[in-house]
Structure 1
Amino acid sequence: MLKYSTMDTPVGPFTLVVSAAGAVRAAGFTTDVPELLSLVHPMLLEPARAVDATEADEPVRAYLDGDLTAIDAVPVEQHTAGAFMRHAWRVMRSIKPGAPVTYTAFAELSGRPAAVRAAAAACARNPVALFTPCHRVLRTDGSLGGYRWGLEVKEWLLKHESGD
C-alpha cells in the first residue's frame, strides 16, 4: 500500500506518495493526491492512504532548511517503457543544486545530444518533483521554460538552491 503526506513549504503545499519500502513514487507542489497518483506508472500503482509523515518528509524539511543535498539519498521508484527516459531520470538526479543545465546540455549528459525534445519530455513526465530535479533544467536561452507545478515554484527552487 502507498502512503502519502502533505507538508507546508514556502511555495505552498508539497505532497509525497511513498511505497511501503519508503521509495518516493510521486511528489509535487499540490494537495491533489489523485493528480499525483495519475503520474505513477500503472505497474507501481497501489491504493494509497494518508499518514502523518513519510520517510521522505524529514529530508524534504532539511532541504527546505538549507541542506540542499538532504534529498539526494531518498530512493525513488519511477517507471516508463522507454529506456532513454529511465536513463534521463537517473542522469537528472545527478544535476547538482545551484548548477542548472539547459535542455541541450541535459540531452548531452544523457548520452543523446540530438535528443533535446526527448530530454524535455523526460522533464515533463517526471513524477517525483524535487527528488528527480527537473526544475534544474532550463531552456537553451537560460529562461525557466515550463514546470508542472508553476513557474513561481521553479523560480523559488532555483533561487533557494543558488543561495539568493
Structure 2
Amino acid sequence: MVIKWSTVETPAGPFCAVVDADGVVLASGWTAWTDDLLPQVAPSLMFEDLVQVDDLGPVTKAITAYHEGDLEAIDDVPVHQHSGPFLQHAWKVLRTVPSGKLVSYSEFAGLTGKPRAVRAAASACSRNAVALFVPCHRIVRSDGSAGEFRWGSDRKKWLLEHERHNS
C-alpha cells in the first residue's frame, strides 16, 4: 500500500501529515518530516511505501483552513489510529471537545466514562498520533495551565489562543 505525506507551512510552524490511499490521516503534527510521526503509528497500520507529495487534497485544505481561523475545518477529516478499547474510545471523545473549550484531564477522564482514570486519559493525549485532527491540545491541567504537548508547550499555547480568538 502506498502512503502519502506532505508538509504545510502554517503560522504555528511546519505541519506534516501522513495519509493512506483513501485520504485517511494516520499521523500528523507540527514537524517538517515524517521521522517524528512514524513512531506513533500502530504497527498494524504500517505500510510499505511512503511517498512525498505537494498536496494531500482535502487534508491540506483542512490544515490550511484551520490555521487561517476556520476551526471546524478539521472536524470531519477521517483519521485512523489503533490501540486498545479505552484509547480508541478516548480518541473519539477528544474529537467531540469543541474548539475554544478547555477541558481538564480529570474532566476528560469523566467524559470518557471513567472519571477515576485520569492517567489513562492523559495517556490518550500523549499517545495521539493524529494531532490537530484529534485535538488533544484542548486538554489542560486542572489549574488551567497548558501542560505538556508533544509539539511543545509554546505551540500548545499558540493553538489555545488561536482557538480562543477565532471561536
- State the TM bucket, normalised to the shorter chain: over 0.9
More helix by share: 2
Instruction: Give the Cα–Cα distance (whole angstroms) in 2 for the partners of residues 131 and 42 of structure 1.
Output: 20
SS at match of 1:104: helix
Instruction: Give the Cα–Cα distance (whole angstroms) in 2 for the partners of residues 71 and 122 of structure 1.
Output: 19
1:15-47 deviation digits (Å, cap 9, x = unpaired) = 000011000000010013122111110111112
Q: TM-score by structure 2 length?
A: 0.95
**In the TM superposition, what is the alpha-carbon distance from 1:121 to its structure 2 partner?**
0.2
Gaps of 5+ in 2: none
SS at match of 2:160: helix
SS at match of 2:155: helix
Determine the structure 2 residue equivalent to 1:28.
29
Equivalent pair of 2:8/2:15 in contact (CA under 8 Å): yes
Q: CA RMSD in A?
A: 0.9
Instruction: Give the Cα–Cα distance (whole angstroms) in 2 for the partners of residues 85 and 77 of structure 1.
Output: 12
Instruction: Give the Cα–Cα distance (whole angstroms) in 2 for the partners of residues 6 and 48 of structure 1.
Output: 13
Amino acid at match of 1:58: K
Equivalent pair of 2:7/2:33 in contact (CA under 8 Å): no
Determine the structure 2 residue equivalent to 1:53.
55
Instruction: Give the Cα–Cα distance (whole angstroms) in 1 for the partners of residues 3 and 30 of structure 2.
Output: 18
Name segments (4+ residues, structure 1) moved above 3 Å.
Answer: none
**In the TM superposition, what is the alpha-carbon distance from 1:100 to its structure 2 partner?**
1.4
Determine the structure 2 residue equivalent to 1:131.
133
Gaps of 5+ in 1: none
The question of 1:120 aligning with 2:122 is answered yes
Determine the structure 2 residue equivalent to 1:102.
104
Instruction: Give the Cα–Cα distance (whole angstroms) in 2 for the partners of residues 151 and 24 of structure 1.
Output: 23
SS at match of 2:15: strand
Determine the structure 2 residue equivalent to 1:90.
92
Determine the structure 1 residue equivalent to 2:160.
158
Equivalent pair of 2:107/2:115 in contact (CA under 8 Å): yes
Q: TM-score by structure 1 length?
A: 0.97
